[in-house]
Structure 1
Amino acid sequence: MPTSSRYPVLWPLATLLAVVAVTLAVGWLADQALQRVAARHPQAPVWPLLRRCRIPLQLVVATGLLLAGQPLERLFDVRDGELHHVVLLLLLACLGWLTVRIVAAALEAVLGRYESVTDDAARVQRVRTQIGMLRRVVSAVIAVVTAAAMLLTFHAMRTVGASLLASAGILGIVAGIAAQSTLGNFFAGLQIAFGDTVRIGDTVVVDGQQGTVEEITLSYLVVRLWDYRRLIVPVSYFVSRPFENWTRRDPGLLAWVLLHLDHRTPVDQLRAALHRLLVDSPLWDGMEWSLQITDSTPSTLVVRAAMTARTPDDAAVLRFEVREQLFAYLRDEHPYALPRIRTGEAP
């Protein structure tokens, strides 16, 4: 009598242990192979990134072996095919997960390679935004295809397939009307990613609030404000309304400070003091600076100090420093230059 007949539990248990052993061995061998290839080709970032695919790869191997050997059906004495169907669904889901991981690793490797050979920060930001959007689109397509393949494994879905295809036109119209806003945001996201209007890391002004673009998705855009709040804006906003992008072509920015001073202010000496402050400041990029009288009132002069900085953040800090140090200079050296409110007649 065969061993499997006398001991009906031993054979499926041995098969199940073999599946576990093969799964662990495949994961270990794949990880070791990727480590060796990465050590031989350190300039190629794709191999270390592919190591993230170890868990979905092991799950694919495990579910594939369970589907082929059917040890669970024999162990639990299930013959109606329900457990087989569950394992098949898990295999399809794991295949989709593995595909998403491989695509993400490949796109991140492309971005890393581009960053290593390009010194232009604007181009790097543009490529990072485009690759991030492309990864989300491809992941969404893979998820839809995987879900469709899983649904087609059900007999009822195959039976009603002809009916669904016959009514696809009507369903498409209804779905398009219902998801008009979602589809609008989706295509707006693609337009932003490949139209180069706004990128991750850009400094923008939205509804009077300045912030840095932190994340771009298919439906919304996250702007980090100066006080670390996050402003969530639909991507359709950036293709239908005007907004300010301070770093689209050049991250450098012209900062300015307005001072209301007394008419007796020694403007030439104040201009020289501004130049000394800028030379000593690491935030000034050394490109442009000026100090001019832009307006006057019956009681004050309006003096504007302008200077350039490398980034919007540097420009903001430089404005604060210049304003503080110029007032300190006037207070210590020329106190009469600070404006006063006169309540009596002048002599």
Structure 2
Amino acid sequence: MRKYKNLVLPLFLTLFFVGLEPALTLFRFIPARIIDLVQSYGHLLLIITLAWSAIALLKIFRKLLLSNFDISKEDNLKSRKVHTQVNIFTNIITFFIVLIALGFILISFESIRKIGIGLFASAGIAGIILGLAAQRVIGAVIAGIQIAFTQPFRIDDAVIIENEWGWIEEINLNYVVVRIWDKRRLIVPSTYFIEKPFQNWTRNSAEIVGTVFIYADYTLPVQALRDELTRILNATELWDGQVNVLQVTDAKENTMELRALVSAKNSPTAWDLRVHVREKLIEFMQHNYADSLPKTRIQLQDKTMA
């Protein structure tokens, strides 16, 4: 019953305003001025409460539908897709409910009846939206609708935006909330994802490959470090058992660059795994190959010996 509590008040007010005008006619002692006031503005309150009830009912339906799709489970690609579509379409329908209610309210006033009729004339509401799409706010709304259909990202996708790494936390009609790894929130207009490139690490699945870079002296035996990486991965539950690669990816004047590729079931786990592997590899080098840590060589030549 608790899930329907947000519907009780708007539904009660709707029924109240529906029966208010007929009820007033039964009481002769009520002043005519009050009856005229109710007849003039009662239908406006009825329109507002009807729109309120429709939005509350829509949110209840969304909650009931999404309760069948748990995004906390590991294999949550389908659930994230449903959550994304339902949330965006709920916002779209809410937008139209408010727009239609506003149109009916405008029609109710004789002085601005033409404005209200204009909302429904010719190309209708869709024509109004398209006509105003050049404006930034409405343009963001159009971008939100496009995101709902194309789905370049979904709820809980791991993304990199403006060099910030985080997860899609909330998708609204005109903006998106990205939860940064350090608990900050990045608010991004919907138009950003249509106009600019961004990275989506979990577009097709939650599994992700992480990288760890190590810099060492040329005296380090690479195979020993490769064997240690395998031992580290086999000893942790963070690894999903898929990717285990160590390669020399660059040779600089003082050090060589080694890149370890490791895989995990999702992006948060991949982050923890990368940190764990980096710490263990450095610890292994400190205890076993301290002479192979990065160093700078200087050769001194005695000119008197030349």
TM-score after normalising by structure 1: 0.75
Equivalent position amino acid for 2:213 in 1: L
Task: Please tell me whether residue 273 in structure 1 is matched to residue 231 in structure 2.
Answer: no
Task: Please tell me whether residue 222 in structure 1 is matched to residue 177 in structure 2.
Answer: yes
Mapping 1:57-72, distance limit 5 Å: 57-70=11-24
Q: How many residues align?
A: 296
Match of 2:203 in 1: 248
Match of 2:46 in 1: 91
Match of 2:216 in 1: 261
Cα distance change of structure 1 residues 150 and 343 upon mapping to structure 2, 3 Å threshold: same
Once the two structures are overlaid, the 10-residue window that deviates more, 249-258 or 175-184, is: 175-184
Listed one character per residue, the Cα deviations across residues 180-204 of structure 1 (whole Å, up to 9, x for unaligned) are 3333322221111111211121111
Mapping 1:127-276, distance limit 5 Å: 127-158=82-113, 160=114, 176=131, 179-276=134-231
Structure 1 stretches of 5 or more lacking a match? 1-34, 36-47
Listed one character per residue, the Cα deviations across residues 280-329 of structure 1 (whole Å, up to 9, x for unaligned) are 22211111101222232343222222111111222222222211111111
Between the two proteins, what is the percent identity of the paired residues? 31
Structure 2 stretches of 5 or more lacking a match? 302-306
Match of 1:54 in 2: 8
CA distance in 2, matches of 1:257, 1:163: 63
CA distance in 1, matches of 2:218, 2:28: 95
Task: Tell me how far 1:227 sits from its aligned partner.
Answer: 2.1
Task: Please tell me whether residue 318 in structure 1 is matched to residue 273 in structure 2.
Answer: yes
Match of 1:124 in 2: 79
Higher helix share: 1
Once the two structures are overlaid, the 10-residue window that deviates more, 85-94 or 135-144, is: 85-94
Query: Do 1:296 and 1:302's aligned partners in 2 also have CA atoms closer than 8 Å?
Result: yes
Runs of 4+ in 1 over 6 A off after TM superposition: 172-175
Match of 2:55 in 1: 100
CA distance in 1, matches of 2:28, 2:230: 83
Cα distance change of structure 1 residues 157 and 80 upon mapping to structure 2, 3 Å threshold: farther
Per the alignment, in what secondary structure is the counterpart of residue 130 of structure 1? helix
Equivalent position amino acid for 1:259 in 2: I
CA distance in 2, matches of 1:326, 1:218: 45
CA distance in 2, matches of 1:205, 1:257: 18
Per the alignment, in what secondary structure is the counterpart of residue 227 of structure 2? helix
Cα distance change of structure 1 residues 73 and 106 upon mapping to structure 2, 3 Å threshold: farther
CA distance in 2, matches of 1:164, 1:254: 54
CA distance in 2, matches of 1:74, 1:147: 34
Query: Do 1:189 and 1:217's aligned partners in 2 also have CA atoms closer than 8 Å?
Result: yes
Which structure is larger by alpha-carbon Rg, 1 or 2?
1
